[in-house]
Chains A and B, each alone.
Chain A
Amino acid sequence: MEGIAHLDATAPARDDDFTATFGNHYTSLVRRLTVVVGGDFEAGRDLAQDAYLRAYRARHRFDGGDPRAWLYTIGLRLAFNERERRRRWDRLMGSRSPMPTWVVPEDRGLHEALRGLRREHRAALLLNVVDGYTQAEIAGMLGVAPGTVASWLSRAKAQLREALTDA
């Protein structure tokens, strides 16, 4: 997987190196995770903080490749697992999670269209259309087969095209 490898001499071992390498990508990670979880800004920020901490703890495993891809990989996997964890918790306790701060950006049409997608589809779409990652790279980041990513992207684009054309 791009960006992830075992011990490497170029890995940012010191705190200063870590901040210099990953600090610039924190804000974009918050934005990305907020969009991926459907617009809940606090959930996006919490996930980004968690991802950043995990990246810091595992900094010796970074191979010196693409730091943004590495952070996104950790953050997106956390986002997928967090939804399952929250669902299980709500089912077990019969409770609802605290009221989130739903973000409604200016482009309401796109916002509603994105919310109609599954979380995995949103993630794959953003990585491909906005960041330009290939299907193979996205598959590596999300831990799925390239064919699955191709299917997600195809469905997401078709769904968005339909929603945005109707709007």
Chain B
Amino acid sequence: MHDDDFERDLARRLRAYEANVPAAAAEAKRSRPNGHRFGWLVFAVGGASVIAAGLLAFVLLRPPMRASGMPPDRAAVSLAVR
């Protein structure tokens, strides 16, 4: 191919290539996995996990309650006697 022919063809292809850029960018965005789409789900699951872990820690680690007064069965008996 002569230089002139090559440059003419190159110019035509380059113009078409540039003109196609916005459409190709839109297509690339559509086909790219969207990290924002599931961001809220990750955030919600993470938050729920933290709350559940806090509750579990509270239940497991709280000090045992001290027994005070009469045992329940004795209290019931005394009320019945009255």
Residues of chain A lying within 8 A (CB to CB) of residue B29:
101
Residues of chain B lying within 8 A (CB to CB) of residue A126:
14, 18
B15 interface contact, C-beta 8 A:
yes
- Count of A-B residue pairs with CB < 8 Å: 65
A49-57, A72-80, A103-111, A139-147: which lies at the B interface?
A: A103-111
A34 interface contact, C-beta 8 A:
yes
B6 interface contact, C-beta 8 A:
yes
B20-28, B48-56, B58-66, B68-76: which lies at the A interface?
A: B20-28
B22 to chain A, nearest CB (A): 7
Flag if A107 contacts B28 (CB, 8 Å): no
Flag if B10 contacts A129 (CB, 8 Å): yes
Residues of chain B lying within 8 A (CB to CB) of residue A41:
21-22, 24-25, 28
Assign chain B's interface to a size class. Answer: 20 to 34
Q: Complex Cα distance A30/B22, Å?
A: 9
Q: Complex Cα distance A35/B19, Å?
A: 11
Helix, strand, loop or mixed for chain A's interface?
helix
Flag if A107 contacts B20 (CB, 8 Å): yes
A161 interface contact, C-beta 8 A:
yes
Residues of chain B lying within 8 A (CB to CB) of residue A31:
18-19, 21-22
Given A41-B21, A111-B17: A101 in contact with B11 (beta carbons within 8 A): no
Interface residues in A104-147 (C-beta closer than 8 Å to B): 104-107, 110-111, 114, 125-126, 129-130
Contacts from A to B (Cβ < 8 Å): 27-28, 30-32, 34-35, 41, 44, 101-107, 110-111, 114, 125-126, 129-130, 157, 160-161, 164-165
